[in-house]
Amino acid sequence: MGQGGAGTGGAGGSAAASCPGANASEFDLVASWLTNTVASGALPNYAYNNIKTNFPAGAAFNTLACAIAMTCVEFAPMETNWLRKCEAVLTSAIVAESSYVPTEVVNDSYSTRAITGGTANDPTVGLLQIRFSSTVHDFNYFGPMPKMAAIGCTWPAALTTQADTANFWATAGGTTYLSFMKDPVCNIALAAWYYFYNATGNGGANAVYISNYCAGTGVAGTMVTGLLSHLLGGAYPRPANANDPYPFGIECCAGGNPSVTTCTGCSGRFAAFMGIGTTTASRPNPDPFQESLVPEVSKYCR
């Protein structure tokens, strides 16, 4: 694998000691992305400042770097170089979702929707803004628990026997399980699982939800497919729009949303990490975000 464009030196300590399940050079590379404040197109200064505040040097920082590295060990698609691409996607996407503030809780109209007997309490939470009634729910009933444990996330025991009742899943995310969803290790792992099962299976003309995917009916998609499924739900408008501000911002626009920040070509976070940025075209060619990713039921399902 070629080294990413934002630096290669380790910054968070030895992978052997801090993250034994990950490749040492991959751990060190992720750590360098999280600390290299001079690399053109990499993380914005506010993200670096938040990392210093929320993940100071030592064990806290190593936990963040290891969560990204180990999540990609377990959930990166099988296609060539997607371990590295997965690491770059996650490191960049955290900026788009929370700017590296792990306690971020966002309430929208869906989080406070009317339910039988009351109102939902179902915010999006944490580094990658997962929602209890969707991401956590789906993994609880279909996801591979051994992979979650290998990443370092301790799954709440009570959820393993929880009945699939709509009111519970609509309300417990903002109360009982808020701390669990804020845990950086669990949060990153859950969001990545959701990204990649959709990227590898929700690329057809109609939505493929996790129960269908695990039954073998997934349709190859792209990273754009996975990101839009996270942003808009599995029934996102077809066809997947690679120039939607959300995936384009993660891949190409250093400042984030290109409708807010002027972007020149594709020189944003993912492109910078992967060393494929360009100022002469709107996207890299070939474009990793539009590469076909095939279903892998054994990786994303139990």
Q: What is the 3-state secondary structure (H, E, C) of 191-217?
A: HHHHHHHHHCCECCCCCCCHHHHHHHH
pLDDT above 50 for 4: no
Which one, of 283, 272, 184, lies nearest residue 224 by Cα? 283
Q: Which contiguous run of DSSP H or E holds residue 118?
A: strand 118-119
Query: Residue 272 has which token pair?
Result: 């910078």
CA 244 distance to own-chain centroid: 17
pLDDT above 80 for 1: no
Check residue 221 and report its DSSP letter. B
Query: Rg of the chain over CA atoms, in angstroms?
Result: 18
> What are the φ and ψ backbone dihedral angles of 26, each rounded to 5 degrees?
-70, -45
Mean pLDDT lowest among 28-32, 40-44, 156-160: 40-44
- What does pTM read for this prediction? 0.93
| 230 Ramachandran zone, left/alpha/beta (phi>0; psi -120 to 50) | alpha
d(CA 50, CA 48): 5
The arithmetic mean of pLDDT across residues 248-256, rounded, is 87
Taking only the tens place, the pLDDT of each residue in 199-251 is 999 999 999 999 999 999 999 999 999 999 999 999 999 999 998 999 999 99
What letters, b where the CB count within 10 A reaches 16 and e where it falls short, cover 88-114?
bbbbbbbbbbbbbbbebbeeeeebeee
Q: In what order do the strands lie in the sheet with 130-131?
A: 105-106, 124-125, 130-131
Do 227 and 242 form a contact (C-beta atoms < 8 A)?
A: no
Using DSSP, state whether 269 is helix, strand or coil: helix
